[in-house]
Amino acid sequence: MNSETRSREEVLCEDVLREEICRVGQSLHIRGYVHATAGNISVRLKDGFLITPTDACLGTLDPARLARMDAQGLQTGGDRASKTLALHRQIYAADAQARCIIHSHSTHSVALTLQGVWSDDDIVPPITPYFVMKVGHVPLIPYHRPGDPQVALQVAARITAMAGKGTPLRAVMLDRLGPVAWPRRGQRGARGTGRNRAPVVAVQAGSSGAERSPDRRVAAPLRRHLVAGAQAHRHTAAIDGPRPVKRWRSRSAPVWPINQD
């Protein structure tokens, strides 16, 4: 589908999502979850998806330069797509409910994979209710070089296997590379306060009840998913805090308290 056959609403929706990707990237950069040119973000569109360019700093993204991919994974616009393009494509293909994807190289998350995770199926125990409810199980994906198609295939296989058990994944941890998180359709970002507030919670739609412009109304559902993605990433990368890694090395696994879907 080219720009001539796309509807005005689809174009307006995409314009808002481009701005939102840049806003989320800047927020993650300011908060220290990403640095230099590490990390990437994508958002699913009706006829493909947007993804940040390779070697781009998430703190200084340009909406017009985001890479646009069609439904077959061919680039149709913007700067050259992130080297993790195959990973994003496989997640969207494996989980039809995935709306956006955020990947970072969070320092202490990477350190945890070097020190030793809790288990290959859950990198940390269910340490907080919010981690269980908003993120759920986070398996470790064995190391391959950045952009290696094998990583994408392994993540897709994990998604399929967990879906078969009735427990859809929302995130994985790439060994020595960091977390990848994605919200699913129907998963909405929740408002918080203080340090627990989501990085981009202000973009959630309609708190005032005022009439929104057509572009914001059309894009609002996907924008909420992008907020949820930032929240899921924040919880997955929460070990960047002061809690020492060694406290989580016990292999005596408590039972997960609830179904995470």
The CATH number of 8-248 is 3.40.225.10
Query: What are the CA-CA distances from residue 131 to residues 17, 124, 138, 170, 199 (Å)?
Result: 26, 10, 10, 11, 16
Q: Is the dihedral of CA 231, 237, 182, 53 positive or negative?
A: positive
When pLDDT is cut at 50, 70 and 90, the band that residue 22 belongs to is very high
Out of 24-33, 86-95, 141-150, 227-236, least confident range: 227-236
Per-residue pLDDT for 1 more than 80? Answer: no
* HSE-up of residue 215 (Cα within 13 Å, Cβ side): 11
Domain ranges of the chain: 8-248
Distance between first and last Cα of the chain: 33
Distance CA 161, CA 165 (A): 7
pLDDT given at position 17 = 95
pLDDT given at position 233 = 60
Distance CA 77, CA 70 (A): 9
Distance CA 174, CA 172 (A): 6
When pLDDT is cut at 50, 70 and 90, the band that residue 228 belongs to is low
When pLDDT is cut at 50, 70 and 90, the band that residue 139 belongs to is very high
Region 238-252: what's the mean pLDDT? 44
* Mean pLDDT for all residues in the chain: 78
When pLDDT is cut at 50, 70 and 90, the band that residue 199 belongs to is very low
Catalytic residue among 33, 92, 130, 143: 130
**Phi, psi (rounded to 5 degrees) for 112:** -60, -40
- 130: annotated active-site residue: yes
Per-residue pLDDT for 258 more than 70? Answer: no
pLDDT in tens, 75-97: 999 999 999 999 999 999 999 99
pTM above 0.75? no
Out of 40-54, 154-168, 239-253, least confident range: 239-253
For helices 85-94 and 149-164, angle between their N-to-C axes, nearest 10 degrees:
20
61 CB-contact burial (10 Å; exposed 0-12 / middle 13-18 / buried 19+): buried
Tokens of 78: 């913007």
Give 18 or 234, the one with higher predicted confidence: 18
